[in-house]
Amino acid sequence: MSSSASLLHVNDLRIAYAQQRGQADTQTWAVNQVSFQLGQGERLGLVGESGCGKSTIGRGLMQLLPPGTRLEGEIIFAGRSVLSLVGKGLQRFRGEEIALVFQDPMTRLNPLLTVKKHCLETLKVHRPQLSADEAKTKVLETLSAVNIPAERWTQYPHEFSGGMRQRVAIALALLLDPKMLIADEPTTSLDVTVAAQILKEMTRLCEERQMGLLLISHDLALVSEYCDRVAVMYQGQMVELGPAQEILTNPQHSYTQSLLQAALHLQTSAAETSPTQESPPKQSVLLQLRDVQQHYTLETNFIARLLSKKADAIKAVDGITLNIYAGETLGLVGESGCGKSTLSRTILQLVRPTAGSVQFDKLDLTTLEGRELRQCRRQIQMIFQDPRACLNPRMKIGQSVAEPLLIHELATPAEAQAQMHTMLERVGLTPTTDYAQRFPSDISGGQQQRVAIARALITQPKLVICDEPVSMLDASIQTQVLDLMQSLKDDFNLTYLFITHDLWVARFFCDRIAVMNKGKIVEIGPTEEIFTNPQHPYTQTLLGAAPLLTRLQEG
């Protein structure tokens, strides 16, 4: 890379958060002496385990770190020092020069604004010279690029699935045609087909506009497929940096080798190593769905109502009939927005179904209310896609994990404390006395997800609905958490409904797989049968789009 094509220079970057400083004579660096360069049109992948400092680097490049954070080193972008920018200069820099796609889309989206309002306000601030028609055209073109239909731009973030919200966040980042894009786990909540579409679009834009891309991810296969170079982070340091193909075929650092080995183990050895490959005993049906429907009606405007125009309906769940057997793990896979998460919330009666019945342990949940429904929910717990959705930001982790035992009167305060420490240790948050005193904001996204898992499992439910429970974790920790969930399943005779867009995780963990598309289950069967002999064209498309490390290594 010639110096003339150089876009970003990072030299000896060190970052420490205020709460990490501890004693006066100690200093804990979240990022420690990191240096790298990024050229125009170049794609650099930043990989590593949860908490290694990847996201901290991304936010540091844009001066988005919390007050009190100590930052040392040099960040030069297009010949200017980023650390010297203040006020309106910094405001213009964010978005016009470098744009950031956050890991959690809800940190970028105002729940009180429609998607249309989000986009038009961004253009109004940064591109005031555009006419109303020009702004609308620009917004609709950008939304179309990330697969959001034009008719949905009048909706609010809560009306979108997690994956659809992430697409909105990506569209907002691309709206101002920045010179560089920092994508922090941009496809965590997306299925493989949509992830591939978005990443192809990103890489196309990088090439056409000579836009730099820093792709932060725990997914080594994903990064290697779409990036020119890969940088590996471990405990705040960059331990390896080189061409993607070289990192894949000849990793030098021991951590890179272990990361690659874990990813390969998860992908290629799933059939042999899955702890649940034998067909589950089908003595009893634990959950029975019969013709379950969940339809939403889009609001029409005043003129349409005067003309008696019928409102459009979104069939999020469209007539699903399904049995889940006691003791099995059923995987539910499908693209973002296909209705997977809506189905899980319908099972829990968090939203009442439009039609159909949901029977749990021979009780029809659709007929229960109040105390009866709450008692039944003790036996059904949920691990949400976003761990912040179930963690009170003002409550310490120990309190959050112990709270369900106290709410349901399953333990005394002393017993709840003991069980909480045991569960934190089971999910790998040690020393437990330290983690119990932290707040969710004090730990990484992956660690937050482990807290959410501990909180869901501490009541020893019969059925656990897992909505993307390991989507934020790197391959090595994914394997550890899945092994943990399997051991807990065996110990407490749990049944899992495992919702995921990661086909390799589903293959590794699930007994059966149901494939969902546009509100319907289009194929269901034993895991290996789905993978080796898929019948439905959509299933075949899903399998063909999934990044595979062995294929990339051969390439």
Predicted confidence at residue 272, as pLDDT, reads: 53
Read off the amino acid at residue 524. I
Predicted confidence at residue 463, as pLDDT, reads: 96
Query: What distance lies between CA 363 and its chain's CA centroid?
Result: 33
**More confidently predicted of 545 and 401:** 401
Predicted confidence at residue 477, as pLDDT, reads: 72
**Do 183 and 215 touch, CB atoms closer than 8 A?**
yes
Q: Domains along the chain?
A: 3-107+179-252 (3.40.50.300), 283-302+311-379+493-555 (3.40.50.300)
pLDDT of 462 strictly over 50? yes
pLDDT of 411 strictly over 70? yes
Q: Which residues of 243-256 are buried (b: 16+ CB within 10 A; e: fewer)?
A: ebeebbeebeeebb
Q: Kindly report, residue by residue over 530-541, the tens digit of the pLDDT.
A: 988 999 999 988
Predicted confidence at residue 36, as pLDDT, reads: 96
**Cβ-based neighbour number of residue 379 at 10 Å:** 16
Predicted confidence at residue 264, as pLDDT, reads: 77
Give CA–CA dist 248/187, Å, rounded: 21
SS in 3 state form for 9-25?
EEEEEEEECHHHCCCCC
Tokens standing for 116?
């249309």
Predicted confidence at residue 278, as pLDDT, reads: 46
Predicted confidence at residue 193, as pLDDT, reads: 74
Predicted confidence at residue 4, as pLDDT, reads: 42
The pTM of the full predicted model, rounded to 2 decimals, is: 0.71
Predicted confidence at residue 2, as pLDDT, reads: 38
Predicted confidence at residue 384, as pLDDT, reads: 81
Give CA–CA dist 524/542, Å, rounded: 14
Predicted confidence at residue 448, as pLDDT, reads: 86
Q: Are strands 180-184 and 70-77 parallel, antiparallel or unpaired?
A: unpaired
Please tell me the least confidently modeled range out of 13-27, 72-86, 389-403, 530-544. 13-27
Query: What distance lies between CA 471 and its chain's CA centroid?
Result: 5
Predicted confidence at residue 359, as pLDDT, reads: 94
**More confidently predicted of 379 and 302:** 379
Predicted confidence at residue 306, as pLDDT, reads: 62
Return the residue matching tokens 């656990």. 464
Query: In this structure, what DSSP letter does residue 104 have?
Result: S
Q: pLDDT-derived band of residue 548, with 50, 70 and 90 as boundaries?
A: low
Q: Kindly report, residue by residue over 476-530, the tens digit of the pLDDT.
A: 777 777 887 888 888 888 999 999 887 888 888 999 999 998 899 999 999 999 9
Cis omega (within 30 of 0) on the bond before 281?
Answer: no
Give CA–CA dist 19/412, Å, rounded: 32
Query: In this structure, what DSSP letter does residue 175 have?
Result: T
Predicted confidence at residue 23, as pLDDT, reads: 41
Predicted confidence at residue 44, as pLDDT, reads: 96
Give CA–CA dist 345/339, Å, rounded: 10
Determine what percent of the chain is predicted with pLDDT higher than 70: 88
**Do 197 and 236 touch, CB atoms closer than 8 A?**
no
Mean of the per-residue pLDDT values for the chain?
85
DSSP string, 485-504: HHHHHHHHT-EEEEEES-HH
Among the listed residues 328, 323, 324, the one whose alpha carbon sits nearest the alpha carbon of residue 279:
328
Q: At what angle do helices 397-407 and 413-426 cross, to 10 degrees?
A: 130
Please tell me the least confidently modeled range out of 173-177, 297-301, 459-463. 297-301
Q: Kindly report, residue by residue over 11-48, the tens digit of the pLDDT.
A: 999 999 886 444 444 568 999 999 999 999 999 999 98
Among the listed residues 505, 163, 499, 162, the one whose alpha carbon sits nearest the alpha carbon of residue 343:
499
Q: What is the dihedral of CA 123, 162, 468, 108, to 10 degrees?
A: 40
Among the listed residues 350, 380, 371, 341, the one whose alpha carbon sits nearest the alpha carbon of residue 496:
380
Q: Are strands 180-184 and 212-217 parallel, antiparallel or unpaired?
A: parallel
The H or E element spanning position 43 is strand 43-47
Q: pLDDT-derived band of residue 71, with 50, 70 and 90 as boundaries?
A: very high
Tokens standing for 197?
């579409």
Predicted confidence at residue 307, as pLDDT, reads: 62
**More confidently predicted of 246 and 164:** 246
Q: Kindly report, residue by residue over 251-301, the tens digit of the pLDDT.
A: 999 998 888 887 777 766 555 544 444 444 556 999 999 999 998 876 555
Q: Kindly report, residue by residue over 200-245, the tens digit of the pLDDT.
A: 877 887 888 889 999 998 878 788 889 999 999 999 999 999 999 9
Q: What is the mean pLDDT of residues 170-184?
A: 91
Among the listed residues 455, 456, 430, the one whose alpha carbon sits nearest the alpha carbon of residue 443:
430
Give CA–CA dist 402/411, Å, rounded: 9
